[in-house]
């Protein structure tokens, strides 16, 4: 299922760190060394190798650029994560990894624009941490979602143990053995290590058709997906409270048997970045590759 909105490529991308570092130049049309499994490789070579697996890559307009570091630097280790938090960066440095592959923005906005943050101490400290330690940081969002299968969706199905239930033609639609909403929620919380979720629905409702929508595709896209799939329950990442939850509430008040479970953005996509590690390792056997969870910033009372 292809979503527009937040995931749609913007017509104009300006003033973004690393925009000029997208692999569109012949300089980075490299093959990985073949003389030794442990031969040194550069950030650019790893990026180029990954892009060769993505249909129609490299894209002319994308947020997936280097936010720090250089494509020419030699890779000492790779870390995959959802958010490059200060703590994640420090852990990568401690592990001897100088290449971080991150799914979401690093500088608090979708395009990673930084001019407005130039004098901000939080931004300055974070960017200096990256630069001082020669960390190459690459956002891997548009490309990973464009991989076939979608890398995030694939990883989330694996994390939930639901791969065998996914529709062959639409990995967002699953048909599970009939169970209660309460049992599904308990399963998801346990598998994804979530303490709390938000729910619109009846915990006793019998569910079989599950619509899994990770991330934040936007309310309109979520509602259109519901219209098409007619699921018993929707598991999603992030919502605007005045959009999808209100649609589901109205549907329920009109007699429809449908529920909504909001997992949280990070929890709904982290499995995809963890799966990236197992996908990359066979292709880069000489490099240490690990996943560092960025975790949830919220506490609940």
Closest CA to 167 of 229, 110, 216: 229
Confirm or deny that 265 is annotated as ligand binding.
yes
| Structure confidence at residue 3 (pLDDT) | 47
Distance CA 292, CA 217 (A): 24
- pLDDT tens digits, residue range 141-166? 999 999 999 999 999 999 999 999 99
Length of the chain: 301
In the beta sheet, which residues pair with residue 74?
42
Confirm or deny that 269 is annotated as ligand binding.
yes
* Sequence-distant (≥ 6) Cβ neighbours of residue 261 within 8 angstroms: 181, 184, 185, 188, 197, 198, 199, 201, 233, 234, 235, 236
What the chain holds in terms of domains, given with CATH numbers, is 5-146 (3.40.1390.30), 151-267 (3.40.1390.30)
Query: The whole model's pTM is what?
Result: 0.86
- Tokens describing residue 161: 């143990």
Decide if pLDDT at 26 tops 70. Answer: no
Phi and psi at residue 199, to the nearest 5°:
-135, 135
Confirm or deny that 128 is annotated as ligand binding.
no
| Structure confidence at residue 37 (pLDDT) | 54
Strands 289-291 and 78-81: parallel
Banded model confidence at residue 301, pLDDT cuts 50, 70, 90: confident
Distance CA 69, CA 65 (A): 11
- pLDDT tens digits, residue range 190-245? 999 999 999 999 999 999 999 999 999 999 999 999 999 999 999 999 999 999 99
- Tokens describing residue 162: 């639901």
Decide if pLDDT at 293 tops 90. Answer: yes
Banded model confidence at residue 32, pLDDT cuts 50, 70, 90: low
- pLDDT tens digits, residue range 260-279? 999 999 999 999 999 999 99
The CB density around residue 173, as the number of other CB atoms within 10 Å, is 20
The CB density around residue 86, as the number of other CB atoms within 10 Å, is 12
- Tokens describing residue 283: 């292709």
């Amino acid at each position: 299922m292809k979503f527009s909105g937040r995931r749609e490529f913007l017509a104009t991308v300006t003033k973004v760190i690393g925009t000029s570092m997208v692999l569109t130049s012949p300089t980075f049309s490299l093959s990985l060394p073949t003389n030794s499994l442990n031969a040194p490789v550069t950030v650019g070579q790893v990026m180029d190798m990954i892009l060769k697996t993505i249909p129609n890559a490299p894209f002319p307009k994308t947020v997936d650029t280097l936010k720090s570091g250089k494509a020419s630097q030699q890779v000492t280790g790779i870390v995959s994560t959802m958010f490059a938090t200060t703590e994640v960066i420090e852990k990568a440095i401690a592990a001897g990894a100088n290449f971080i592959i991150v799914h979401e923005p690093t500088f608090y906005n979708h395009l990673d624009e930084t001019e407005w943050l130039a004098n901000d101490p939080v931004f300055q400290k974070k960017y200096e941490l990256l630069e001082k330690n020669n960390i190459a940081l690459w956002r891997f969002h548009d490309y990973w979602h464009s991989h076939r299968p979608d890398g995030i969706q694939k990883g989330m199905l694996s994390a939930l143990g639901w791969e065998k239930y996914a529709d062959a033609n639409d990995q967002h639609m699953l048909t599970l053995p009939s169970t209660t909403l309460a049992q599904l929620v308990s399963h998801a919380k346990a598998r994804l290590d979530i303490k709390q979720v938000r729910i619109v629905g009846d915990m006793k409702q019998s569910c079989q058709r599950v619509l899994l929508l990770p991330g934040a595709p936007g309310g309109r896209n979520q509602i259109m997906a519901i219209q098409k799939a007619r699921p018993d329950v929707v598991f999603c990442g992030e919502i605007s409270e005045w959009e999808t939850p209100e649609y589901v509430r109205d549907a329920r008040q009109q007699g429809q048997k449908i529920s909504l479970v909001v997992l949280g953005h990070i929890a709904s996509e982290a499995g995809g970045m963890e799966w990236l590690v197992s996908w990359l390792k066979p292709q880069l056997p000489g490099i240490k590759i690990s996943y560092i969870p960025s975790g949830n910033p919220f506490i609940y009372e």
